[in-house]
């Protein structure tokens, strides 16, 4: 039973009515990202009576989030956003079924999570997730309410929802590929005025409510850009781009094998690294090391953790693995690892990937010399 | 003939203005060349282009008083 008193002020709207409230109650909506866009969108969607809401976020609350992520307080710093958001939103409206997903959305879990929902709101903060969510929504045929912000500006649009001619555009029809890594600007580096994601997130929530209840004019196949410093806005009409349609995985298997981290890599540097640079990088945990030698080649490596993908089977295996951070390839002498870098660079020019110069033989030799040198000093 | 350019996000940053006018261009390809000639930094920025609010993907003819909008992707949330 719907608590009519709670929603009385919107039920009395003749365009909305009890039918609109019932449609909201029956809806299942997923928000990707409980940050600057997600927080205000969630607060209004929960207050408005959307029946079931999923929240995906792997991140924890940070002090620098609080100027725009208004669900959280200083007491929440260090706690997982999805879990904190669920607790706060339950207090706001206990009638709503809220499901937190305290995880990073990736191509392995996206389809099973998104398929539980009727509609998706993208409130993420990176291109990897944005392309992943877009492609998953295209595959699963789910409407996607897109929103993004930077500095004093924001963009809102609705994708993968048929207009009156049956046309469904998506994010790739506007931006077929992610921007080059060195031109990527983020809120972390460039900044954003706290109210900007508030306005854009609430516009996303509004579009979601309009889609669910069937009222008003939805931004189907359109994107609006708003500059809050100048109070100006501009609407773009998007049509289907045949070439970008070809870029989207065609089925679940292609999606599971499409490495979005490579596709939207965030760095572009010189490919060869020295032993000293390798050792320094190796000490950071967010790094993937891959041995591209054939199995059983000596010397064995037990000085650090690595994945093993022989070059002979490289192109089949590499797209399916889950990488963390940048990648370093190594082989015996550095030749095959350079080929591995070239293969990756040809497919994904933005990917941050290195070859260990001189290979594992050289690296072991280098360490032996350091040990010998130290021994001599001690003697 | 004169066309009006509307710039958003970092495109406006590079151009130093959110609006400008350019004369005597036949099509969007010539406009791209002209923009990069005037603002070389634009060569490394991906952006969508709309002529009279319609996003275009192929070379499109330009006419007097057309409004061309340049929109870069944002990722922030």
Q: Name the residue of chain B whose CA is nearest to A196's CA.
A: B77
- On whether both A198 and A276 belong to a single domain, the answer is no
For residue B49, what are the β-bridge partners? Answer: B56, B70
Give yes or no: residues A325 and A181 share one domain. no
Residue A2 in domain = no
Convert the pLDDT of each residue in A67-79 to its tens digit: 999 999 999 999 9
d(CA A229, CA A78): 32
**Residue B58: its pLDDT value, please?**
86
pLDDT < 70: residue spans in chain A: 180-189, 265-270, 285, 324, 349, 370-379
Written as six digits, the tokens of A109 are 């879990």
Residues A97 and A126 in one domain: yes
Residues A272, A253 share a domain: no
Contact yes or no for A236 and B55 at CB 8 A? yes
- Is A114 part of a structural domain of the chain? yes
Same domain, A207 and A272: no
Q: Which two tokens stand for residue A107?
A: 């191509």
Which tens digit of pLDDT belongs to each residue from B30-53?
A: 999 999 999 988 888 889 999 999
Asked if residue A20 belongs to a domain, the reply is: yes
Q: Do B77 and A147 touch (CB under 8 A)?
A: yes
Structure token digits, residue B66: 């057309």
Q: Quick check: B75 and A126 CB within 8 A?
A: yes
Indicate yes or no: CB of B55 within 8 angstroms of CB of A230.
no
All residues of chain B having their beta carbon less than 8 Å from the beta carbon of residue A35 are: 77
Are residue A170 and residue A295 in the same domain, yes or no? Answer: no
The reported pLDDT for the residue numbered A262 is 72
Q: From A15, A32, A31, A35, select the one nearest A23 (Cα to Cα).
A: A15
Chain B residues with CB inside 8 Å of A198's CB? none
Contacts of A180 (CB under 8 A, 6+ apart): A268, A349, A350, B44, B46
pLDDT of amino acid A88: 98
Beta bridge partners of A153: A150, A227
Q: Is A25 helix (H, G, I), strand (E, B) or coil?
A: helix
8 A C-beta contact, residue A147 and residue A201: yes
**Average pLDDT, whole number, for chain A?**
89
Domain match, A235 and A296 both: no
The encoded tokens of residue A367 equal: 């360490």
Contact yes or no for B74 and A238 at CB 8 A: no
Same domain, residue pair A233 and A309: no
CATH at residue A306 = 3.40.250.10
The residue-averaged pLDDT of B10-20 equals 92
Closest partner CB to B76 (pick from A125, A232, A238): A125
User: Domain check: are A271 and A253 in the same one?
Assistant: no
Q: According to the 3-state scheme, what is the secondary structure of A44-57? A: HHHHHCCCEEEEEC
pLDDT for the residue A377: 53
Minimal C-alpha gap between B4 and chain A (Å): 14
| A249 in the same domain as A134 | yes
Domain endpoint, select from A258, A284, A313: A258
Q: Does the beta-carbon distance from A153 to B6 stay under 8 Å?
A: no
Q: Of B69, B72, B76, which is closest to A149 when you measure between CB atoms? A: B76
Q: What is the pLDDT of residues A227-249, one digit of tens each?
A: 999 999 999 999 998 888 888 99
What is the domain extent for residue A295?
267-378
Count of domains forming chain A = 2
Asked whether residue A1 is assigned to any structural domain, the reply reads no
The neighbour count for residue A127, using CB atoms within 10 Å, is 26
Q: Which residue has the tokens 């490289």?
A: A314
Cβ <8 Å between B48 and A174: yes
ipTM value = 0.94
Residue A3 lies in a domain: no
- The reply to whether A146 and A34 lie within a common domain is yes
**Predicted pLDDT of residue A312:** 86
Q: What CATH number is attached to the domain comprising A219?
A: 3.40.50.720
Nearest to B50 among A127, A148, A236 (CB): A236
Look at residue A374 in the predicted model and tell me its pLDDT. 62
The alpha-helical segments, DSSP class H, found in chain A are: 8-11, 17-26, 38-48, 81-92, 110-114, 127-140, 171-174, 187-190, 195-213, 242-245, 252-257, 260-263, 275-282, 314-317, 335-347, 359-378
B22 φ/ψ angles, rounded to the nearest 5 degrees: -130, 140
Verify that A204 and A222 share a domain, yes or no: yes
A230 contacts B76? CB cut-off 8 A? no
Last residue of a domain, one of A258, A286, A318: A258
Residue at A331 is within a domain = yes
Can you tell me the mean pLDDT for B14-26?
93
- Identify the pLDDT of residue A186: 58
Interface test with A, best of B59, B70, B74 (most A CBs within 10 A): B74
Domains, chain B, ranges and CATH?
2-71 (3.10.20.30)
With CB atoms and an 8 Å threshold, state whether B54 touches A177: no
Find chain A residues with C-beta within 8 A of B76's C-beta. 36, 125, 148-150, 186-187, 190, 192, 197
Q: A234, A258, A282 — which closes off a domain?
A: A258
Say what the pLDDT of residue A181 is.
53
CA distance A28 to A116: 8
Q: Pick from B69, B71, B12: which is nearest to A230 by CA?
A: B12
């Amino acid at each position: 039973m719907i608590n009519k008193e709670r929603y009385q002020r919107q039920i009395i709207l003749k365009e909305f009515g009890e039918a609109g409230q019932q449609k909201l109650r029956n809806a299942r909506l997923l928000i990707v990202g409980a940050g600057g866009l997600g927080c205000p969108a969630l607060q209004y969607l929960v207050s408005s009576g959307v029946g079931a809401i999923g929240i995906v976020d792997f991140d924890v609350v940070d002090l620098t989030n609080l100027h725009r992520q208004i669900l959280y307080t200083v007491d929440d710093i260090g706690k997982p956003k999805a879990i904190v958001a669920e607790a706060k939103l339950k207090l706001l409206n206990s009638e709503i079924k809220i499901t937190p997903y305290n995880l990073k959305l990736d191509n392995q879990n996206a389809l099973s999570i998104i398929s539980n929902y009727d509609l998706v709101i993208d409130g993420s903060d990176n291109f990897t997730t944005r392309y992943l969510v877009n492609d998953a929504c295209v595959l699963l045929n789910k409407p996607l309410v897109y929103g993004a912000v930077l500095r004093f500006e924001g963009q809102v649009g609705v994708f993968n929802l048929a207009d009156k001619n049956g046309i469904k555009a998506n994010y790739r029809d506007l931006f077929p590929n992610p921007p080059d890594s060195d031109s990527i600007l983020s809120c972390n580096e460039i900044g954003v005025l706290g109210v900007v994601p508030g306005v854009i997130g609430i516009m996303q929530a509004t579009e979601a409510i309009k889609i669910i209840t069937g009222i008003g004019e939805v931004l189907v196949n359109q994107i609006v850009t708003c500059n809050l410093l100048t109070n100006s806005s501009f609407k773009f009409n998007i049509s289907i781009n045949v070439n970008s349609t070809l870029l989207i995985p065609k089925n679940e298997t292609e999606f599971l094998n499409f490495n979005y981290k490579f596709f939207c890599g965030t760095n572009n540097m010189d490919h060869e690294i020295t032993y000293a640079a390798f050792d320094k990088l190796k000490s950071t945990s967010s790094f993937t090391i891959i041995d591209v030698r054939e199995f059983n080649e000596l010397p064995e490596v037990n000085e650090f953790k690595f994945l093993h993908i022989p070059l002979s089977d490289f192109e089949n295996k590499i797209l399916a693995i889950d990488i963390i951070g940048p990648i370093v390839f190594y082989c015996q002498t550095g030749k095959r690892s350079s080929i591995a870098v070239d293969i990756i660079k040809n497919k994904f020019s933005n990917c941050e990937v290195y070859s260990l110069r001189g290979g594992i033989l050289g690296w072991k030799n280098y360490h032996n010399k350091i040990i010998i040198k130290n021994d001599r000093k001690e003697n | 003939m004169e066309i009006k350019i509307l710039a958003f996000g970092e495109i406006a940053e590079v151009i130093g203005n959110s609006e400008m006018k350019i004369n005597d261009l036949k099509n969007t390809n010539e406009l791209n060349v002209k923009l990069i000639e005037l603002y070389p930094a634009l060569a490394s920025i991906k952006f969508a282009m709309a002529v009279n609010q319609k996003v275009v993907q192929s070379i499109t003819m330009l006419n007097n008083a057309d409004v061309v909008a340049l929109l870069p992707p944002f990722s922030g949330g």
